[in-house]
Amino acid sequence: MANDAHWWANADITADIYASMKRKEEQHIVFVGQSPQLHLRRYLVDWMAILCEKFEIDRHVLHLAVYMLDRFMDRYAIVQESQLHLLAFTCLQISTKFEEREEKVSKLSTYHGQSTITSANKEDYLQMELLLLQFFDWNITAPSAAHFLGYFLTEASGKCEKSFRNDYRDDCSEYSNVYMHKYTNYFLEISLQDHAFSFAKPSLIAASCIAASRVCLQLSPTWTAGLTKITQYKWEHIGPYIERMLR
């Protein structure tokens, strides 16, 4: 996937990769939000996030796994909580295979074999994996907000801009970079926890994370011409999502 080696660092291919990602996000399965188990979604997402942190799995894995979880739950009624755990784990396992190194896949598989959170056996897991892959027609190339965020950050940070103190720091570039990354990561996590963000395109969520971070840092202007150009979103596009992130 496009998270490999900071694809935006190579100016010769950046435009092509970005255009490809934009095309692929248009092919995302539409999220309806009609799952009868929607009230359990945040718990499942938090559990998946804990596993990613435990095994030091890249955040792109979690975002892809949540995308798969949302779309599958949207169309299948899963009654038993143990089956929901199996589904969530299988989504995470598939996305780890797709986005991570083999050693991380092995560690996750070992955990599943030792876990008591579900009574599922290896055959149950394989059946769920096959069901998921068939549901997505074996195509899980789905760019997430995490894939877009790094590219957008090249325009969002590293610039000396006026802050709420109405002055400039000598080390403003480093200061801006550090806190911009902290805030955007925080808002990126929020976007996973709240299913309302699953209705929006990943690139729109990434742009909203940037804008919400600039609001918190009190950078002016909040949304620059450069950010409008690189994200292809105007303030009116991202405004509603910023408000929800800042609640």
Cα four-point dihedral sign 76, 81, 83, 86: positive
pLDDT by residue for the chain (247 residues), tens digit each?
544 557 787 777 888 999 999 999 999 999 999 999 999 999 999 999 999 999 999 999 999 999 999 999 999 988 788 899 999 999 999 999 998 888 888 777 777 655 556 667 888 889 999 999 999 999 988 999 999 999 999 888 655 555 544 444 544 556 678 899 999 999 999 999 999 999 999 999 999 999 999 999 988 899 999 999 999 999 999 999 999 999 9
Q: Are residues 119 and 95 in the same domain?
A: yes
Q: Are residues 172 and 106 in the same domain?
A: no
DSSP 216: H
Q: Are residues 38 and 110 in the same domain?
A: yes
Q: Are residues 172 and 125 in the same domain?
A: no
Q: Are residues 128 and 160 in the same domain?
A: no
Q: How far apart are CA 213 and CA 186, in angstroms?
A: 9
DSSP 164: T
- Model pLDDT, residue 118: 63
Q: How far apart are CA 204 and CA 145, in angstroms?
A: 8
Assigned token pair, 108? 């996750």
Q: How far is CA 216 from the centre of its chain?
A: 20
Instruction: Let me know if 138 is exposed, middle or buried by CB neighbors in 10 A (0-12, 13-18, 19+).
Output: exposed
Q: Are residues 88 and 115 in the same domain?
A: yes
Task: Show which of 105, 135, 165 is a domain's final residue.
Answer: 135
Instruction: Please check whether residue 175 lies inside any domain of the structure.
Output: yes
Q: Are residues 115 and 175 in the same domain?
A: no
Q: How far apart are CA 205 and CA 68, in angstroms?
A: 17
Q: Are residues 63 and 119 in the same domain?
A: yes
- Model pLDDT, residue 2: 44
Q: Are residues 32 and 127 in the same domain?
A: yes
Q: Are residues 43 and 93 in the same domain?
A: yes
Instruction: Please check whether residue 4 lies inside any domain of the structure.
Output: no
CATH number of the domain at 47, please.
1.10.472.10
Instruction: Please check whether residue 13 lies inside any domain of the structure.
Output: no
E strand or H helix that includes residue 194: none
CATH number of the domain at 152, please.
1.10.472
Instruction: Please check whether residue 216 lies inside any domain of the structure.
Output: yes
Assigned token pair, 168? 């400039």
Instruction: Please check whether residue 76 lies inside any domain of the structure.
Output: yes
Instruction: Let me know if 157 is exposed, middle or buried by CB neighbors in 10 A (0-12, 13-18, 19+).
Output: buried
Instruction: Please check whether residue 12 lies inside any domain of the structure.
Output: no
- Model pLDDT, residue 171: 46
Q: How far apart are CA 247 and CA 245, in angstroms?
A: 6
Tens digits of residue pLDDT in 181-203: 999 999 999 999 999 999 999 99
Q: Are residues 131 and 155 in the same domain?
A: no
Task: Show which of 135, 170, 200 is a domain's final residue.
Answer: 135
Instruction: Please check whether residue 10 lies inside any domain of the structure.
Output: no
- Model pLDDT, residue 161: 54
Instruction: Please check whether residue 21 lies inside any domain of the structure.
Output: no
Task: Show which of 135, 168, 195 is a domain's final residue.
Answer: 135
Host domain of residue 181:
145-245
Q: Are residues 180 and 239 in the same domain?
A: yes
| Total domains in the fold of the chain | 2
Determine how many CB atoms are found less than 10 A away from the CB of residue 4. 8
